[in-house]
Amino acid sequence: MKIFLYILIGLAGGVLGGLGMGGGTLLIPLLTLFTGTGQHAAQTVNLVAFIPMSAVALAIHLKNRLVKWKYLLLVSLPALPAAVGASFLAKAVVGAKLGRWFGIFLIVLGVYQLAGVAIKFFKERKEKNMKKVAAGTEV
């Protein structure tokens, strides 16, 4: 039964990773919450699983001409030393604290994204209403 759970978690992480949204955002919490995997081990599994997922997703994005080459170095160069530093930091932090900080990060990210969607929705709604008023279709 547990193997089936790992397969489902892998599928969910693969879908998000393929979409470019970072499968680890889902993969790590699912592994820790539903399989009892420790935080450090879940992060390691995520990193190892990320290699083939990102290679396939990158090939598809390259084929579809979705890669913005001019931004590649601007993002990659600072990301490499940051990843090295964060890896050493993650090893130094106790698993429970690491999990708590990752949870806080996900909550902040979720609130930020939800706020962005809400702002866009209300802005579009306001513009639509203004167009109706300007056209005289609404009093």
Q: For the segment 60-106, what is each residue's pLDDT rounded down to a tens digit?
A: 889 999 888 889 889 989 999 998 998 888 888 887 888 888 889 88
Q: For the segment 19-74, what is each residue's pLDDT rounded down to a tens digit?
A: 767 667 788 888 888 898 988 898 888 888 888 888 888 898 899 998 888 898 89
Cβ atoms of 54 and 17 within 8 Å: the answer is yes
Cβ atoms of 27 and 46 within 8 Å: the answer is yes
Q: What is the pTM of this model?
A: 0.63
> How many helices and strands in the chain, by DSSP H and E?
5, 0
Distance of alpha carbon 59 from the chain centroid: 19
